[in-house]
Amino acid sequence: MFANTNIFTDKVTTNWFKACIALTVTKDGLSSFVESELQKIQTTVGRSCGNCSIEKLLPCPTNGICKKRKGNTCIFHHSQQPQNCKSCDQVKQNITSLHRFKGPSWRNTQAESWATHPWEIGKCFLPPDGYSGVSSVQESDFNGVISIMLNCTHFQTCLSSSCLSPPPPDKQCLLEKVRQIGRDIRHTSDCKVSDAHLQDYFQTLSTLLADPKCLLNDPSAKISKTKLGDLQNDRMSLSELGELLKEADRTLKNANEVGERVSEAAERKLAVCLEQLEASLQAGKKRIQSRIDDGKQRIEQAIQDGKQHIGVKIQNGDRCIESKIDNGKQHIEQTIQDGEKRIEAKIQDGENRIIQTNSEQAEQNYTRSVEG
């Protein structure tokens, strides 16, 4: 059952709705690629000790992290004792040099887990705030995934040069364009997207998902690219659309929580989408259930008919067999009687012949004795 994606009467709102879903689909398609690249990055930056917290690895104050206020304790640094750890400092330095703008988001990351969870390294390349509670690439949102690819220069090695040239923050590079689509969708004031813009969005997102360097052969990216096509041409199933919509809604709420300026209009519109989709799903379920019920009744009826039909045939058969047996019996009796009659007739005949022979013999004997 395909969904009617045209939930709204006006085309431009439907376009916006499709764009929301497209972002979620794209993010899902990039997740496993980013995850496996983060494992390589973890190897590149080296092994941390696993005991140092980020708070202890950064001096107070650190530009962009905290300001030392006279007489007040720092909100970031609970302890003012910096820790000297050679291995962790090295990892920290390596992360910084991989950062395109040399400003890792230290507030997001748990340095104790750098050696065990590549995602904690990935978090250094996310926007500065709001991601500390996000525990995986999958859990992250579209903006987060694109930020890692933009901010970490490692991705220059696994994306073709067209994705990152001219180099960010130049708005003309493909990844910057992709990030801008996300912003436009989330920050909308009217939840409307023109046909031409939507076309352009699909084109840009598909180009990224089919990047020839690695993504072209990445299974998840391939699936997402197909899904984008389905979405664009209204071939997506209702249940799949429902799941994606829920994810889009969660992401938007989450973005709001981290202080991003998500438009209220966008939030309201997505809520309406969810309600309408839920209603369509319920209606669909009812239709399916009534078809199942109908089918069951028809099958039961057919079984009943079949049973009756078989019953009649058995009765007919019984009758037929009985009458054949009767016929057979009669036939056998007749044959026996005929046989008996024939045998009796033959015996009678024999007896007659013996009597005849005997009387002829007696006659001859008498004649011979008279003549003699």
Q: Among residues 11, 35, 76, 249, which is the contact residue for Zn ion, using CB under 5 A?
A: 76
Give the interface size with Zn ion as a residue count (CB under 5 A).
Answer: 9
Residue 281 within binding range of Zn ion, rule CB under 5 A:
no
Please state the closest distance from residue 123 (CB atom) to Zn ion, in A. Answer: 18
Q: Among residues 129 and 326, whose Cβ is nearest to Zn ion?
A: 129
Residue 19 within binding range of Zn ion, rule CB under 5 A:
no
Please state the closest distance from residue 82 (CB atom) to Zn ion, in A. Answer: 10
Please state the closest distance from residue 74 (CB atom) to Zn ion, in A. Answer: 3
Q: Among residues 117 and 250, whose Cβ is nearest to Zn ion?
A: 117
Q: Among residues 49 and 158, whose Cβ is nearest to Zn ion?
A: 49
Integer Cα distance of 64 and 101 in angstroms: 13
Q: Among residues 66 and 273, whose Cβ is nearest to Zn ion?
A: 66
Residue 52 within binding range of Zn ion, rule CB under 5 A:
yes
Q: Among residues 46, 53, 60, 250, which is the contact residue for Zn ion, using CB under 5 A?
A: 60
Integer Cα distance of 155 and 215 in angstroms: 12
Q: Among residues 32, 46, 49, 210, which is the contact residue for Zn ion, using CB under 5 A?
A: 49
Integer Cα distance of 174 and 159 in angstroms: 11
3-state secondary structure the chain: CECCCCCCCCHHHHHHHHHHHHHHHHHHHHHHHHHHHHHHHHHHHCCCCCCCCHHHHCCCCCCCCCCCCCCCCCCCCCCCCCCCCHHHHHHHHHHHHHECCCCCCHHHCCHHHCCCCHHHHHHHHCCCCCCCCCCCCCCCCHHHHHHHHHHEHHHHCCCCHHHCCCCCCCCCCHHHHHHHHHHHHHCCCCCCCCHHHHHHHHHHHHHHHCCCCCHHHCHHHHHHHHHHHHHHCCCCEHHHHHHHHHHHHHHHHHHHHCCCCCCHHHHHHHHHHHHHHHHHHHHHHHHHHHHHHHHHHHHHHHHHHHHHHHHHHHHHHHHHHHHHHHHHHHHHHHHHHHHHHHHHHHHHHHHHHHHHHHHHHHHHHHHHHHHC
- CB-CB neighbours of 237 under 10 Å: 12
Q: Among residues 89 and 260, whose Cβ is nearest to Zn ion?
A: 89
Please state the closest distance from residue 63 (CB atom) to Zn ion, in A. Answer: 11
Please state the closest distance from residue 208 (CB atom) to Zn ion, in A. Answer: 37
- The upper half-sphere exposure of residue 9, i.e. CA atoms within 13 Å in the direction of its Cβ, equals 0
Residue 227 within binding range of Zn ion, rule CB under 5 A:
no
Residue 110 within binding range of Zn ion, rule CB under 5 A:
no
Interface with Zn ion by CB under 5 A: which range of 3-11, 49-57, 163-171, 281-289? 49-57
Interface with Zn ion by CB under 5 A: which range of 36-44, 86-94, 158-166, 312-320? 86-94
Q: Among residues 37 and 120, whose Cβ is nearest to Zn ion?
A: 120
Q: Among residues 76 and 96, whose Cβ is nearest to Zn ion?
A: 76
Please state the closest distance from residue 113 (CB atom) to Zn ion, in A. Answer: 12
Residue 113 within binding range of Zn ion, rule CB under 5 A:
no
Residue 226 within binding range of Zn ion, rule CB under 5 A:
no
The amino acid sitting at 248 is A
Integer Cα distance of 44 and 66 in angstroms: 28
Q: Among residues 32, 36, 53, 85, which is the contact residue for Zn ion, using CB under 5 A?
A: 85
Residue 158 within binding range of Zn ion, rule CB under 5 A:
no
Residue 88 within binding range of Zn ion, rule CB under 5 A:
yes
Q: Among residues 3, 66, 146, 205, which is the contact residue for Zn ion, using CB under 5 A?
A: 66
Please state the closest distance from residue 52 (CB atom) to Zn ion, in A. Answer: 3
Residue ranges that bind Zn ion, judged by CB under 5 A: 49, 52, 60, 66, 74, 76-77, 85, 88
